[in-house]
Chains A and B, each alone.
Chain A
Amino acid sequence: MANIAEQRIRREFKEVVKSDEVAACNIRVELVNDTYTHLRGEIMGPPDTPYEGGRFQLEIKIPETYPFNPPLVKFLTKIWHPNISSVTGAICLDILKDQWAAAMTLRTVLLSLQALLAAAEPDDPQDAVVAQQYKEHYEIFRRTALHWTSTFANGPKKDKDYDDKVTSLINMGFEEHKARVALSTNQWDLTRAAEYCLS
């Protein structure tokens, strides 16, 4: 790894660790190995969103050309959001692409991701299915995102109706995650979800 990249990550790491956001448990970053090329981030779901109270893990890879090029970030925790792939965790966020600036840091990236959770941009989607639901059935989107938060990110709020629907598909013999994706994609219509699973 180029010297400047490693030196900078060392510095930023200290900066994040002693930041106010860490003190408030809003963001966190830790080393995966001791070369500073691979980090694990965590953000808290922002209040007044379906992600509230959830803890979302992020994979952060530092390229050799950092900070002249952005870190490679994706969600490890499954999440239902128009700008994040529900399959791969890939993120569509301008600052991680062409709007990156060399003065940005791990801290600003994590805070920007938190802001993205609070303000989705469905017109610039990463996950077309989620974005369409966000635009056409916002209430279903909100409940689905909340259901995914409680299932994968340890979110505190449950949606019993949606939980029961997942259970009924499991009882029909479908695998749990497949059932959840089928229901989420088909506006929680059991019949259509079952057909989706079979196709």
Chain B
Amino acid sequence: MSAETTSQNNNSPSSEDNNTAEEAAGTYECNICLETANDAVVSMCGHLFCWPCLHQWLETRRSRQTCPVCKAGISKDKVIPIYGRGNPNPQDPREKLPPRPPGQRSEPEGTGAFPNFGFGGDGGFQFSFGIGAFPFGIFASTFNFNDGRPAAPAPGSPQEAEEQFLSKVFLWVGIIFIFWLLIA
């Protein structure tokens, strides 16, 4: 009723707006049920689906798993869930049935090439470097004497040792603080 009134009052601009809105809604329609995608996932080929719809398709065609739109290869592990803002239902969709595959978050690559280095002891440290890379061994030894604590020649390793040392310090500070809280 109200929509009709609006379209009567306004002329062509409003109908253009409506078309644009309709097209925009169509952009986020599931390619299987043709409704706005619910628990949305996107395939590697860029096609949008409701997870329940895609799951049912994959179950129907177990032997030949292809994208329902472009027939590219598709699998449960290679679809990406889409999390929009302001989800009215805060339940984790992965706990729903059928389960939606989790988002994949790869860890940033570590900088330390020799993560165990600082704790190997001075002997082990000098031994490995003396054999593996003679010039570094000399440098490291010199460095070691001057600095008074283990350091590694590879960039990043000294920082890592320092971080681990700091984290131990903070751990102890934390324990002492809790202890103090309990007593006080």
The answer to whether the Cβ of B66 comes within 8 Å of any Cβ in the partner chain is yes
Stretch touching chain A among B53-61, B80-88, B119-127: B53-61
CB of B130 within 8 A of chain A?
A: no
- Give the residue name and chain of the B residue nearest to A11 (CB): B34
**A15: shortest Cβ distance to chain B, in Å?**
8
> For the side of the interface on B, what is the size category?
10 to 19
**How many Å from the CB of B51 to the closest CB on chain A?**
14
Q: Does B105 contact A (CB under 8 A)?
A: no
The answer to whether B68 and A101 have CB atoms under 8 Å apart is yes
- Which residues between 87 and 106 of chain A lie within 8 Å of chain B, taking CB atoms? 98, 101-104
A12: CB under 8 A from chain B? Answer: yes
B31 contact set on A, CB distance < 8 A: 102-103
Measured CB to CB, the closest approach of chain A to B126, in angstroms, equals 65
CB pair A12–B68 under 8 Å, yes or no, is: no
Q: Which residue of A lies closest to B63 (CB)?
A: A98
A37 at the interface (CB under 8 A from B): no
Interface of chain A residues 3 through 35 with chain B (CB within 8 A): 4, 7-8, 11-12
List B contacts of A65 (CB < 8 A).
Answer: 60
Check B64 against A102 for contact (C-beta < 8 Å): no
Which residues of the partner chain A approach B169 to less than 8 Å between Cβ atoms?
none
Instruction: Check A12 against B34 for contact (C-beta < 8 Å).
Output: yes
The residue on B at minimum CB distance from A5 is: B33
User: Could you tell me if A102 and B34 are in contact, using CB atoms closer than 8 angstroms?
Assistant: no
Cα distance A121–B151 in the bound complex, in angstroms: 74
Residue B35 is within 8 A (CB to CB) of chain A in the complex: yes
Given contacts A101-B66, A101-B71, A103-B69, contact A69 B60 (CB under 8 A): yes
CB distance A102 to B53 under 8 Å? Answer: yes
How many residues of chain A have a CB within 8 Å of chain B? Answer: 14
The minimal Cβ–Cβ distance linking A65 to chain B, given in whole angstroms, is 7
A8 touches B34 (CB 8 A): yes
Instruction: Indicate whether B42 reaches chain A with its CB closer than 8 angstroms.
Output: no
Known: A101-B68, A103-B69. A68 touches B33 (CB 8 A): no
Count of A-B residue pairs with CB < 8 Å:
34
Docked pose: A102 CA to B43 CA in angstroms:
14
B66 pairs with A8, CB closer than 8 A: no
On chain B, the residues within 8 Å of A103 by CB distance are 31-32, 47, 68-69
Q: Is the CB of B69 within 8 A of A68?
A: no
Assembled-state Cα–Cα distance A157/B53 (Å): 47
| A51 vs chain B, min Cβ distance (A) | 28
Instruction: Give Cα A7 to B35, complex, Å.
Output: 9
User: Chain A residue with minimal CB distance to B29?
Assistant: A11
Contact for B33 among A4, A69, A104, CB less than 8 A: A4
Q: Does A67 contact B (CB under 8 A)?
A: yes
Interface contact A101-B33, CB-CB below 8 Å: no
CB distance from B14 to the nearest CB of A (A): 19
**Nearest CB on B from A102, distance (A):** 4
The answer on a CB contact under 8 Å between A8 and B60 is no
B56 touches A68 (CB 8 A): yes
| Chain A residues packing against B (C-beta within 8 Å) | 4, 7-8, 11-12, 65, 67-69, 98, 101-104
A-B residue pairs in contact (CB < 8 Å), sample of 22: A4-B33, A7-B33, A7-B35, A11-B34, A11-B35, A67-B32, A67-B33, A68-B57, A68-B60, A101-B66, A101-B67, A101-B69, A101-B71, A102-B31, A102-B53, A102-B57, A102-B68, A103-B31, A103-B32, A103-B47, A103-B68, A103-B69
